[in-house]
Amino acid sequence: MAKVTFEKVVKKYGNVLAVDDLNLELEDGKFTVLVGPSGCGKTTTLRMIAGLEDVTSGIISIDKLDVTSLEPKDRDISMVFQNYALYAHLTVAENIIFPLLARGGKRVEAQGRLQEVAKMLNISHLLERKPKELSGGQQQRVAIGRAIARAPKVFLFDEPLSNLDAKLRVEMRTELLRLQRQLKTTTVYVTHDQEEAMTLSDVMIVMKDGKILQKGSPIDIYEYPNDTFVASFVGSPRMNLISGLCDRGLFTSESGIKSIVKNIGPKKTVLGIRPEEILLVPAVEADFMATIEIVELLGPRAIVTLQVASEHLTAIVNTSDMGSIQEGLEVGVKFRKDRTHLFDEKTQVRL
């Protein structure tokens, strides 16, 4: 168990500012996910914790110990990469116990730990195989096995599931959670996939351009995004964002979208509304009218694309409530009360 702290950490590659003045505390025993678009500095951040990348300036500590200039091997962390990086000429068993033996562990003890880890990951029957005789999912399990064979202070995962197919990715996600609940080791996990971040994290950190935009529980970030970037990055289908004027408790867009909102303004704003908070209602109850452009059935729910003049809105509707919803028809729309988000149009920051 360990706490990881960043103080004013900067990383430059030549002129590229990869990580920009990072101040951050990663909590002991928690599953923290760094999420953000490609190139935002996630891998760099992780590699700096591991010691695989020097910091340009600033301090990284693990449990109050300044590790900024320690070698990777002296930091007591385990890292799992996207591309597994197994030793091709070693068996699964040898791959898993390698880090134990490399640190001077005894072979007998390593064998005991191997059996435990293999059981945990359901790979006991694969121990004598070579990596090339395994599927992608099995290889990834072995890579995770190698990381957890030791009991390090911190686990680092860099997009470990992105090479797996969708079904396996969801299964492995659940297994990783089960594993972390069991081991309670401080874990830092990097992904560009907001759904993976939402499902895995105790603490979620949204990054962009080398900076932290927001840190919090997934539900807090989903419900109270700090700005329009976080608002549209987190959640799928993404939050609708509509430019318009707020005045005396009423929001109006140029296209004719209207909603009762909190009493601010007159001010140019961006209104955010999640697809599941858009209600399709009879005309008499509606705040405005829209045309149903496209209906995509997902099973129990459907994605409905609405058109209001030149503007498009994405709504999610329960299939059982669809009634007369058909492409081409006019429908009344209102936004669920108190579920709208308002952002300053100029700064894009939450109001």
The radius of gyration of the chain's CA atoms, rounded to the nearest angstrom, is 24
Q: Min. distance of Cβ 63 from ligand ADP in angstroms? A: 24
8 Å CB contact between 233 and 42: no
Query: Running DSSP on this structure, what letter comes out for residue 321?
Result: G
DSSP for 15-43, please give it: TEEEEEEEEEEEPTT-EEEEE-STTSSHH
Give all strands (DSSP E) within the chain, no chain letters. Answer: 4-13, 16-26, 31-35, 57-62, 65-66, 77-80, 154-158, 186-191, 203-208, 211-216, 240-247, 250-252, 258-260, 267-273, 278-281, 288-297, 301-308, 311-318, 330-335, 341-344
Residue 74 and residue 30 in contact, taking contact as beta carbons nearer than 8 Å:
no
Tokens 């001010």 belong to residue: 267
How many residues bind to ligand ADP according to rule CB under 6 A? 11
What minimum distance in Å lies between the beta carbon of 43 and Mg ion?
3
- For residues 31 to 60, the per-residue mask of contacts with Mg ion, x marking binding by CB under 5 A and - elsewhere, is ------------x-----------------
Nearest approach in angstroms of CB 199 to Mg ion is 19
Candidate residues 4, 22, 35, 40; the one interacting with ligand ADP per rule CB under 6 A: 40
**Which lies closer to Mg ion via its Cβ, residue 43 or residue 140?**
43
Residues 6 or more apart whose CB falls under 8 angstroms from that of 236 comprise 194, 195
Q: 214 contacts which partner out of Mg ion, ligand ADP, none, CB within 5 to 8 A by kind? A: none
Candidates 2, 4, 9, 18; binder of ligand ADP (CB under 6 A) is 18
Closest approach of Cβ 43 to ligand ADP, in Å?
Answer: 3
Q: Which of 44, 95, 186, 191 binds ligand ADP (CB under 6 A)?
A: 44
The verdict on 43 binding ligand ADP (CB under 6 A) reads: yes
d(CA 328, CA 332): 13
Stretch in the footprint of ligand ADP (CB under 6 A) among 42-50, 69-77, 105-113, 239-247: 42-50
Pick the closer one to ligand ADP by CB: 53 or 94: 53
Question: Which two tokens mark 55?
Answer: 């910091």
Is the preceding omega at residue 266 within 30 degrees of 0, hence cis?
yes
Residue in 6, 35, 41, 213 binding ligand ADP, rule: CB under 6 A: 41
Choosing from 1, 8, 13, 249, the residue that interacts with ligand ADP (CB under 6 A) is 13
Applying CB under 6 A, among 7, 20, 24, 39 the residue interacting with ligand ADP is: 39
Q: Does 283 participate in binding ligand ADP (rule CB under 6 A)?
A: no
Listed ranges 40-48, 285-293, 297-305, 328-336: which one lies at the site for ligand ADP (CB under 6 A): 40-48
Cis peptide preceding 237, ω within 30 of 0 = yes
In the complex, least distance from residue 121 CB atom to ligand ADP, rounded to whole angstroms:
26
Contact indicator for 308, 330 with CB cutoff of 8 Å: no
In whole angstroms, the minimum distance from the beta carbon of 87 to ligand ADP comes to 24
Assess 16 for contact with ligand ADP (CB under 6 A): yes
* Minimum distance, C-beta of residue 27 to ligand ADP, in the bound complex (Å): 21
Structure tokens at 100: 């134990």
Query: Residue 43 or residue 340: which is nearer to Mg ion going by CB?
Result: 43
Which residue's CB is nearer to ligand ADP, number 20 or number 28? 20
DSSP state for residue 277 in the 8-state scheme: G
Beta bridge partners of 313: 306
Q: Give the CA angle between residues 149, 154, 159 to the nearest 5°.
A: 85
| Residue, CB closest to Mg ion | 43
By CB under 5 A, name the binding residues for Mg ion. 43
By CB under 6 A, name the binding residues for ligand ADP. 13, 16, 18, 36, 38-44
